Structure 1
Amino acid sequence: MFWKSTLVVTTLILHLISLGVGQKLYPEVLLESNFPPARPSYYNLKAICYYGNGRPRFPDSIFPSSGYAYARRAGNAVNRLETWFSWCCYRGSAYVNEQTLCCAKQAWKTALSQFCIEEYSTMTLVHECCEKKKEERWNCFQKKAANPFYRPLSRYRAPMISPKGSFRWDPNTC
């Protein structure tokens, strides 16, 4: 019941945003079901690749002109990661394979590393996972993942957003 009501509220908010209504309405609510993103694995890779346009993006227009700094950083991390996932999934390969998974894992770590760097550049408390080191950090993000199977939202089509930051996949680390 809780999952269904949360999905309805999230869908309603996204619908209002798509209509241009309520654009300044609690952006962190939109992030609750999307941040942090889950670690790519064999169990969620097909959903990562096939339903990317069905997961929320966070354009600057949904954030008020001031405040919501954490939500803005988290939204940028999601936007960045979704763009990089798209590149990993569709870089010339018509199917999901070991190289796609390797690329997605590297994109995930790079996006969350960049998020942590941005967190430490502020004068506020950082996300608790950013305080951890190495594998403990990645396990923390995975444990807190809001949507571990990368389920899309019903009737949602993600807007195109240019990522802030760059990603270079190193196939030699696979």
Structure 2
Amino acid sequence: MFWTGPLVTALILQFISLGGGQNNDPDVLLESSFPPAEPSLMNLNAICLHGSGRARYPASFFPPSGYAYARRAGKAVNRLEAWFSQCCYEEGAKGHGQILCCAKQAWEAALSHFCTEEFSTMTMAHECCQQRGEDRWNCFAKQAPNPSYQSLPGYLAPEVPPDRIVFTWDPYTC
């Protein structure tokens, strides 16, 4: 599914505003943000400037049981958004080149953790996780519903507790 504009945005905001998503299908709501797009010079400004306007998925978003895939995907989105914030503001990356390098490392690390979690279940792993190397990254990039990292108008992301997995970027691989 591709990002289709204001109508989808309005529907997502409506669903998110209803009881924290308790009575809605999280799989459907995640379709607007998972998988996240690969960072590039074309979307880097949006990644850094509009992070608080993109969907987050706190634990209260999900029903008490079920939706394991959606929980893993939501966790990957939350993790990546936190790591993007590190790249843009906290990690000492200077200039677009270093920030982009950090963001790409964060993207690959978040999706790698997602794939590790996918393979730890008894269900079929996401199709992109079944690929390796550049094929995996290309698969995720092609499936991204929001390649420009557009924010949701009027949406302010809720605070999500820090993840147990820590991200540290390596500026020497840029």
TM-score (norm 2): 0.92
Q: Output the amino acid matched with 1:9.
A: L
Q: Output the amino acid matched with 2:14.
A: L
Out of 7, 10, 14, which is 1:8 matched to? 10
Matched residue pairs, number?
A: 170
Structure 1: 4+ residue segments shifted above 6 A: none
Deviations 1:108-151 (A, max 9, x none): 00000000000000000100000000000000000000100000
Q: How does 1:134-145 map to 2 (within 5 A)?
A: 134-145=133-144
- 1:172 is aligned to 172
Q: How far is the alpha carbon of 1:65 from its aligned partner?
A: 1.4
Sequence identity percentage: 57
- 1:105 is aligned to 104
Instruction: Tell me the SS of whatever aligns to 1:102.
Output: helix
- Greater Cα offset, 2-11 or 49-58: 2-11
1:136–1:94: structure 2 CA closer, same or farther, 3 Å change rule? closer
Q: How far is the alpha carbon of 1:95 from its aligned partner?
A: 7.2
Query: Is contact 1:24–1:62 with CA below 8 Å preserved after alignment?
Result: no
Return 5+ residue gaps in structure 1 as ranges. Answer: none
- 2:37 is aligned to 38
Q: Output the amino acid matched with 1:163.
A: D
- 1:146 is aligned to 145
Q: How far is the alpha carbon of 1:7 from its aligned partner?
A: 2.0
Q: How does 1:2-151 map to 2 (within 5 A)?
A: 3-17=5-19, 20=20, 22-91=21-90, 96-151=95-150
Query: Is contact 1:47–1:150 with CA below 8 Å preserved after alignment?
Result: yes
Query: Is contact 1:89–1:96 with CA below 8 Å preserved after alignment?
Result: no
Instruction: Tell me the SS of whatever aligns to 2:79.
Output: helix
Q: How far is the alpha carbon of 1:93 from its aligned partner?
A: 5.8
RMSD: 1.6
Query: Is contact 1:27–1:68 with CA below 8 Å preserved after alignment?
Result: yes
